[in-house]
Amino acid sequence: MISQNAWILTTVILTVVVAFDFTWAVLRRNQNTSLKEATIWSLFYVSLAIGFGIHLGTWTDAQTQQEFFAGWLTEYSLSFDNLFVFVIILTRLKIEEKSKQLALLLGILIALVFRIIAITIGAAAIKQFEWIFFLFGAFLIYTAVHLFLESSHKEHEEEKESRLISYLSEKGMKPFTIALIALGATDILFALDSIPAIFGLTENVYVVVTANVFALMGLRQLYFLIGGLMQRLVYIGKGLSVILGFIGIKLLFHAFHAVDIHKIGGFKIPDITITQSLTVIVSCLAVATIASLIKTSRK
């Protein structure tokens, strides 16, 4: 059980960091982000998340620590996919390099707000209705299958975002305003995947919130860092689909146990531990990344 003091201290520290990042982006909104700056900030945020996870294990337990790392890796991966759509939107609207700083940060802040709202609703639903895990599990499996079979996933996303952008342009909106609306709409859609996914790994709201915040922090700098690398990770969608499918199955198993069903047709429904979940997540991301780089290096 996370104490109220821990909640307050964590909230204050994360708010200060996000506020500093926001202020930095506003002050440098008319300047291009160099590769060196993007690299330093990206490493800083990743190190911050890893450091927090390590420290978390010193005052909670190994279970909570593993849940955080599993949740952060999953949310960070999904946020990475979200970032690809950000690239499509900003490129399609021809947003100037100097304006991308502010557009990205506002888009990420919008994502953070939607995630907090979704987490609050999800936590309340789980507390009142344990059968909601059946719904979450089925939805994640459906999403995983759809993502895996969608061989032109990124082209599909680009087509979908282009329709939205074209519609808003016809209404006479300015490109920067359209970018913010499109980013917000994208954030809502991605929250539908990310929130059930992390609740499939942990029901600890503190872990859910911190994993999401750390996953979103630093995405602005990561945007300027990765550049063409996003085009090279051709199998990352496949890896994410396997992860989502695995978590969906884990959720269904948990749901059966929650309603006191432990066997189906003589088959004992297994309990998937957080250690096993973390192993699957890391393995899928590693295989997808290595396979992608091998494939694209041949071209």
Q: Is the pLDDT of residue 163 over 80?
A: no
pLDDT bin (cut points 50, 70, 90) of residue 137 is confident
- Per-residue pLDDT averaged across 138-158, rounded? 71
Q: How does residue 152 score in pLDDT terms, banded at 50, 70 and 90? A: very low
Mean pLDDT of the chain: 81
Q: What is residue 229's predicted lDDT score, i.e. its pLDDT?
A: 64
Question: Do 152 and 234 form a contact (C-beta atoms < 8 A)?
Answer: no
Percent of the chain whose predicted confidence (pLDDT) is above 90: 15
Task: Give the span between the Cα atoms of 248 and 120, in whole angstroms.
Answer: 20
Query: Can you tell me the mean pLDDT for 71-86?
Result: 80
Summarised one tens digit per residue, pLDDT across range 100-109 is: 777 777 777 8
Cβ atoms < 10 Å from Cβ of 12? 10
Other CB atoms within 10 Å distance of the CB of residue 238 = 18
Estimate to the nearest angstrom the gap between the alpha carbon of 275 and the chain centroid.
20
Determine how many CB atoms are found less than 10 A away from the CB of residue 275.
12
pLDDT at 139: 87
pLDDT top residue among 131 and 138? 138
**Highest-confidence range of 9-23, 63-77, 221-235, by mean pLDDT?**
63-77
Q: Is the pTM of this model over 0.85?
A: no
Q: Which residues contact 208 (CB under 8 A, 6 or more apart)?
A: 71, 119, 123, 195, 198, 199, 202
